[in-house]
Structure 1
Amino acid sequence: MLGQEKTRELLEQELERLRNENHRLKEELTSLKEKETNQSFKEKYAVRILESLPDMLTVFNHEGTGIGVVSSEETNHVGVPNSAFAGMHMRDMIPEEAYHNVYNNLQKVIATGKGSTAHHELDVNGTHHYYENRIFPLDEEYVLIMCRDISERVVTQKNLEVFKRVLDKVSDSILAASTDGTLVYANKQFIEEYGVKGELGVQKVYDLPVSLHTKEIFEKRVQEIRDNGGNMGYHARYTRVGEVKERVHQVSTFIMEDGQEEIVWFFTQDITDVIKNRDELRELNYLLDAILNNIPVYMFVKDPEDDFRYLYWNKALANHSKIPASRALGRTDFEIFPERSDAEKFHQDDLELMRTGERLEMQETYVTAAGETRIVQTLKTHIPLVGRVPLIIGISWDITNVQNIEQELIQARIKAEQSDRLKSAFLANMSHEIRTPLNAIVGFSRLMTTTDNREDEKLYSEIINQNSDVLLQLINDILDLSKIEAGTFEYIKQPMDLGEMCRNVYEIHKGRVQEGVTLTLDNENDSLMINEDKNRILQLITNLITNAIKFTYESEIHFGFKLKKDYIDFYVKDTGIGISEEKLSHIFGRFVKLNSFVQGTGLGLAICQMIVEKMGGAITVESELHEGSTFRFTIPYDMYNKQEKFKKNAEREQHLKVAIKSLQLRTLLVAEDVDSNFLLMNTVLGKKYKLIRARDGREAVDMYKENHPDLIFMDIKMPYMDGLEATRLIRGYSKDIPIIALTAFAFESDRERAIEAGCNDYLTKPVSQEAIEKILDKYSL
C-alpha cells in the first residue's frame, strides 16, 4: 500500500511536470508561428531539451496518424524509425491490444479536451515491457503522446503484491507507521485483530486498541527503538476486538528509511498460550523438583551413553554425601567419590544392570566427602527412551541411623542384661555390706551395757563409731545415686580456699592409712580461691583418697591439684595393687567392685564421674597391675563460671522469646506467583505464622504498606514487577523489615543483585524446611 501511494504521488508529479512542459511547448510553437524571425532562448534549446527526456514523445492527429517524433531515437521502442513515423497510422506501429489501449485513451482526450493516462504492453527485443502512455491535447487537430517504460516499477509492484499476500497469510500481526503515528501498512491479521476501519495513510496507530494507546506513549516507544540501535523487542498486553480477556504479544520492532521518511515496523506475535503453557510447565517442574528434593531418599539418574555421567542428583543425596549437585552433575563416580573402591563398585553395578536389563537391589556402604561412612539400601533400574540407550535411575534409602539404632539396641540389651546381673550382685553385696557394720554396731552396743571396764567401753565405742561411719557412707552413696538419676542432686557454689580444704582432708585421713603407708599433700602451703560447691569437691577428693587407702599396703599416697590456664587438675596417686588393663574400661561403672573382700557398694567412682561431668569436667585413671594407680579429675576454672552465666542468660532470653511468640502470631508476607510454591511455604509455616500472599511485585508493595508484616519472603521472577524492583520500593518505606530473596536463580551474581536491591538474605529453590526455620530463628521469629 505504501508503494502504491508513493508511485501515485510520483506519477502525479511527473504528470504535472509534463503538463507544464506541454504548455511550454505550446507556447513555443505559438511563438514560432507569430515570431518566425525572432528566435528566443527556449526556441534555440527546445530540440535539445526534448531529446534529453527519457520518454518517447510523439505527435498524432485526432485520427491516429503519426505526425512526427519529437524525442531522440534512443527513446523509440515501437520498431518504427523516427524518419518513417510521419504518415503511419497508430495501428500499424504496435500490436492490436496495445493499440486499443492507446487509441481508447486518445479518444478520451479528444472527448474531454484534457490529458489522460493509460497503460499498454509491448515485446521489445524479446523482452516484455510495460508502458505508461500520457496523452495531452495540443490544439483542435493534434495531440502529444508521451510513453514511458515502467517495467521495473510494475515488477516491483507485482513483487510487493505477492509479498502483501504472503504477509496476509501469516498468523502474526504486522503493521508499519510513520514516526508521527500514521498507519501506512497493516496486514490482514492486524486489521481483523484490532478492528482497523479507517483508511491507511490517515488513521493513527495510537487511535487503535493497542498497547501504544496515546501519542505520548507511541513517541516514547519510537525514541526507545532509536536508542536501542533501531530495533528492539518487548511484551505488550492487549484485548482483542470482541473479547474481554487480556492477551500478551511479543513485539519485535525496527526502523527503516523510505526515501526521506522513517517507517517503524511492528511484528507482533500472540504468546498468551505460550506463556500459559510455560508457566504450567514451570509450575509442574517446580512441584516435581520440590517433591524429589524433599523426599528423604537418594535419587539419581545416569547416562550410559556418556560414560555413566550423572544427569540428576537430588537434595537428600547431596545432604548425606556432602557432595553438592553442582559438583556431581556431568561427572562420573570416579570424579566425585573420595574412595575409588566405592566408585568401582557403583560402576560394576551399572555395567551389570546394562548387561542383564534386570533391576538390582543391594545393601552397600560408601564414604562421603566428609569422610563419614554411610550405609544405604539401593535399587537400580532402567528408564526406557525412544531411539536411544535407556537411562539408569537409582533410589537409595539411607539406613545408617537404622543400623546404628539396631546396634545401640543390641548394646542396650547387653547392657540391660549386665545391669540386671550387676543389680542382683549389688543387692547381695548391699545385704552383706549393711549387715557387716550393723552386726558390729548391735553386738558391741550390747556389750557396752554389760562391761564395767573403761578400756573395754572405749574400744567398743570406737568400733561402733567406725562401723557407723561405714554404714552412713553406704547409705549416702545410694542416696547420691538416686538424686543424680532423678536430677535433684544439688550444687551450691560459694567462694572457698581449695588449699585449705585439701589440708583439712589431709589431717582427717593421714591417720587412716595402713601401717607402712605415708599420705602426702603436694600443695601443703598453697592457696587457691575458687567459686565451687565445697561439699562436692570434698566428696570427690575423699572418695578417691579412701579408695587409695583401701588398696595401698605399702609405700605412699600423694594427692593435690594444679592450675592449668582455664581448668583445675586434681589427682590422687598411690602405689597400691593397681588395676588390670581389661578392668580399666569398667572401673567407673555402677556396682563394679574389683575386690569383693573390701567393703564398699561399687558406686563411689560412678558417682564421682557423674559429679565431675555435671561440673563440666572429666575423670580419668591410669594404672598398671601391682604398680599403683593415678586418678585425675578436672573442672573448669574461670571459663566455667563465664559459660554458666552465659548459658543462664541465653536460657532466659530463649524463654522470653518463646513467651513473646506465644502471645501473638507473627505475620509473614510471601511474594510468590506459583501456587505450588506458596502451598509448600504454607504447609511448612502455616501453623506457626500468619501467612499473606502477593502474586506479583506490585501486590507485594501494596500488601506491605497495608499489613506491615514481620518478614517478607520475596520471589525474584514475577509478572508485572519483579522481586528486585519490589524490594527497592519497600526499602523506601522501611530499612528494617527483613526481606529474604527466595528464587530459582542460583548464581553468585544473582545473590549479589538481590543483596544490592536491599534483600537481607538469599535462599535458593528448592528450599528445605530446615533452611526456612534457620532464617526465621536468625531474625528472632
Structure 2
Amino acid sequence: MNIFCDATTNTFLHGNFTYFVLLMAGLVVIFILVGFIIQQKKTREIMERELAHLASIEGKDVEYELIIQAMKLATWHIDLETMEIVFDNDYREEQGLFSPKPDTRMMQVYEIVHPDDRETIKTQIKDLIEGRTDLVNAQFRMMQTNDKYYWEEIYCTVAERDDEGKPAVIVGTSMCIEDRKKKERELINARKHAEESDRLKSAFISNISHEVRTPLNAIIGFTDIMPMVTDEQERANLMSIVKENNSKLLRIFEDMMNISKIEAKDENQKLNIEKFNLVALMEQCVAKCSNNNTNPNIDIEFISKETSVEVNTDRERVEYIVRHFVENAMKFTTQGSITAGLSVTSSNRLRLWVTDTGIGIDKEHHDLIFERFYKVDSFVQGAGLGLAVCRSFALSLGGDVDFESEPGKGSSFWLEIPNDVTKAN
C-alpha cells in the first residue's frame, strides 16, 4: 500500500514538474515574442523618423535651389587647404560673367578683380579665414570674358572647421548687380542735375532783375530826356537807343515765355509748318544783325553755295535759332569776323552754322552750355535762356544743336535738321 502511494505521489509530482517546465518555457517564448514585437515597432518608428527627416532635408534642398534660382545667384565654396574655388550652382543670366574652371585658385580670381577693389576684397576674405569676422558682404568689379568690368556682390561665411576649430571650407553666393549700379549712377546724376538746376534757377532769379532793369532804365531815362531835346539828330539817336533796349527787353521776356512753355510742355505750342526758302531766311537774319552791329571791327557775312533751299518747317523757330547764334557771336567777338552759312552734311542733313573769331569757351563750360539759366560770363547781358530754347526748338524740328570752341580762337555753333523736315515732324 505504501509502495503504491509513493508511486502515485511520484507520478503526480513528476507530472506537475513537467507542466511547470512547459509553462515556464511558454512564458519565455511569449516574452521573447513580445520583446521582438516591441523592438520591431521601435525600429519601424526610427526608420519612419529617419525617412521623414531625409524627405524634409530633400524638400529643403529643393526649396533652397528654387530660391537661389529665382534670385539668379551662383553658389560656390572654397577649400582653404588648397584655396580652390568651385561653383556648385550658377543661375546668373548675364553672359560672360566669371565662372571658375577646374583647379582655379583664389589668387587667380584676385587677378581679374578691378585693381581699385582688389586689396579690399582680399582683406575681407583674409579676415573671414582668420576669424576676425563671421560674414563677408562685398561689392566689387570683376572682368568679363570681353575684358570689360561688371559689378558683383558676394555673401560668404565659414561652413566647415577642422579638428582644431580653424576654418576649412568657405561657402558663398555671387550676384551680378550691374543693373543696380547703373540705376544708382542714374539716380546720382539725376540728383546732381536737380541740384545744379536749383542753383542755376537761384542765380537766374537774382540775375533777372538786373537784366530787366538795365534796358528798362534806359527806356525810361531816354524817354524822359527826349521832350527836352530840340535837335532832330540827337532825338533820332535817343529814339534808336530806346528801340534797341526795347528789343532787348522783349527778347528777355520772349525767352522767359518760351522756356516756361517748354518746361510746362504746353500743348498749344505747336509747330507752324510752312514752305520757305532757307537761304533767304538766313540772309535776312544776318542782314538784320549786321545792321544792329555797332562794332566797326567786326565783319558779319553770310556764305552759301546754294541760292535756294526750299524746306517745310517752322520758320519762326529756325529764325530764332539762327538769330540767337549770330547775336551770341556778336556779344563775345570784339574784332575779326562772324560768318553764317548753310551746307548739307554727309548724312544728308541741313546744317545752319555760325562761326566767329571771338574769345571762345573754356572746356569746363561745354557740358552745361545748353542748360537752362547757365551763363558762361555773368557780366555779359542775357538771362541764360537763349541756348536752352534753341536746343528745345531744334529737337522739336527733328534736329539738334551743337558747337565747337577753343579759348582765344572762337566758336562755331550749328543747327542740324533733316532734309525732309515734314517727315521728321
After TM superposition, the structure 1 stretch with the greater mean CA deviation from structure 2, 283-292 or 595-604, is 283-292
Which of the residues 623, 626, 649 maps onto 2:405?
623
Cα distance in structure 2, aligned partners of 1:541 and 1:569: 11
CA distance 1:347–1:592, shift in 2 (3 Å):
closer
Which of the residues 210, 215, 224 maps onto 1:437?
215
Aligned 8 A contact 2:78 2:171 in 1: no
Map Cα deviations across residues 725-752 of structure 1 (whole Å, 9 max, x no partner): xxxxxxxxxxxxxxxxxxxxxxxxxxxx
Q: Following superposition of structure 1 onto structure 2, how do residues 647-726 of structure 1 map, counting pairs within 5 Å?
A: none
Is the aligned partner of 1:367 residue 2:125?
Answer: no
Is the aligned partner of 1:461 residue 2:224?
Answer: no
Which of the residues 51, 68, 71 maps onto 1:292?
68
Cα distance in structure 2, aligned partners of 1:421 and 1:555: 35
Is the aligned partner of 1:560 residue 2:332?
Answer: no
Cα distance in structure 2, aligned partners of 1:351 and 1:436: 68
Structure 2 match to 1:381 = 157
| Greater relative contact order structure (CA < 8 Å, 6+ sep) | 2
Structure 1 match to 2:327 = 546
Is the aligned partner of 1:471 residue 2:270?
Answer: no
CA distance 1:574–1:581, shift in 2 (3 Å):
same
Structure 1 match to 2:97 = 323
Structure 2 match to 1:495 = 275
Structure 1 match to 2:291 = 511
The offset of 1:562, in angstroms, is 1.7
Aligned 8 A contact 1:365 1:373 in 2: no
Is the aligned partner of 1:611 residue 2:393?
Answer: yes
The offset of 1:546, in angstroms, is 0.4
Cα distance in structure 2, aligned partners of 1:592 and 1:634: 22
Cα distance in structure 1, aligned partners of 2:211 and 2:302: 31
Amino acid in structure 2 at the alignment position of 1:519:
I
Cα distance in structure 1, aligned partners of 2:217 and 2:123: 75
CA distance 1:357–1:442, shift in 2 (3 Å):
closer
Amino acid in structure 1 at the alignment position of 2:68:
L
CA distance 1:448–1:584, shift in 2 (3 Å):
same
CA distance 1:358–1:454, shift in 2 (3 Å):
closer
Select the structure that is richer in helix: 2
The offset of 1:449, in angstroms, is 4.7
CA distance 1:406–1:311, shift in 2 (3 Å):
closer
Structure 2 match to 1:576 = 358
CA distance 1:522–1:534, shift in 2 (3 Å):
same
Give secondary structure in 1 for the equivalent of 2:74. Answer: strand
CA distance 1:395–1:516, shift in 2 (3 Å):
same
Structure 2 match to 1:588 = 370
Identity of aligned residues (%): 28
CA distance 1:406–1:303, shift in 2 (3 Å):
closer
CA distance 1:373–1:335, shift in 2 (3 Å):
same
Give secondary structure in 1 for the equivalent of 2:201. Answer: helix
Cα distance in structure 2, aligned partners of 1:457 and 1:355: 92
Structure 2 match to 1:485 = 263
Cα distance in structure 2, aligned partners of 1:285 and 1:479: 66
The offset of 1:476, in angstroms, is 0.7
The offset of 1:482, in angstroms, is 1.0
Amino acid in structure 2 at the alignment position of 1:311:
F
CA distance 1:352–1:597, shift in 2 (3 Å):
closer
The offset of 1:573, in angstroms, is 0.8
The offset of 1:456, in angstroms, is 4.3
What is the TM-score of this pair, normalised by structure 2? 0.69
Structure 1 match to 2:304 = 523
Give secondary structure in 2 for the equivalent of 1:510. Answer: helix
Aligned 8 A contact 1:300 1:314 in 2: yes
Structure 2 match to 1:340 = 112
Cα distance in structure 2, aligned partners of 1:434 and 1:371: 56
Cα distance in structure 2, aligned partners of 1:589 and 1:459: 37
Cα distance in structure 2, aligned partners of 1:367 and 1:600: 49
Which of the residues 297, 312, 321 maps onto 2:88?
312
Structure 2 match to 1:188 = none
Map Cα deviations across residues 210-233 of structure 1 (whole Å, 9 max, x no partner): xxxxxxxxxxxxxxxxxxxxxxxx
The structure whose Rg is larger is 1
Cα distance in structure 2, aligned partners of 1:435 and 1:448: 20
Is the aligned partner of 1:302 residue 2:77?
Answer: yes
Cα distance in structure 1, aligned partners of 2:124 and 2:283: 71
Aligned 8 A contact 1:303 1:391 in 2: yes
Amino acid in structure 1 at the alignment position of 2:97:
I
CA distance 1:519–1:373, shift in 2 (3 Å):
same
Aligned 8 A contact 2:405 2:412 in 1: yes
Is the aligned partner of 1:632 residue 2:410?
Answer: no
Map Cα deviations across residues 561-592 of structure 1 (whole Å, 9 max, x no partner): 22123322332111122223333443333323
Amino acid in structure 2 at the alignment position of 1:461:
M
The offset of 1:375, in angstroms, is 4.0
Aligned 8 A contact 2:359 2:407 in 1: yes
Aligned 8 A contact 2:353 2:415 in 1: yes
Aligned 8 A contact 1:617 1:636 in 2: yes
Cα distance in structure 2, aligned partners of 1:280 and 1:447: 100
> Tell me, which stretches of 5 or more residues in structure 1 are unaligned?
1-278, 646-781
The offset of 1:362, in angstroms, is 4.2
Cα distance in structure 2, aligned partners of 1:422 and 1:349: 43
Aligned 8 A contact 1:499 1:528 in 2: yes
Cα distance in structure 1, aligned partners of 2:143 and 2:63: 29
Q: Following superposition of structure 1 onto structure 2, how do residues 742-761 of structure 1 map, counting pairs within 5 Å?
A: none
Aligned 8 A contact 1:384 1:391 in 2: yes
Map Cα deviations across residues 175-209 of structure 1 (whole Å, 9 max, x no partner): xxxxxxxxxxxxxxxxxxxxxxxxxxxxxxxxxxx
Aligned 8 A contact 2:83 2:105 in 1: no
CA distance 1:509–1:378, shift in 2 (3 Å):
same
Q: CA RMSD in A?
A: 4.1
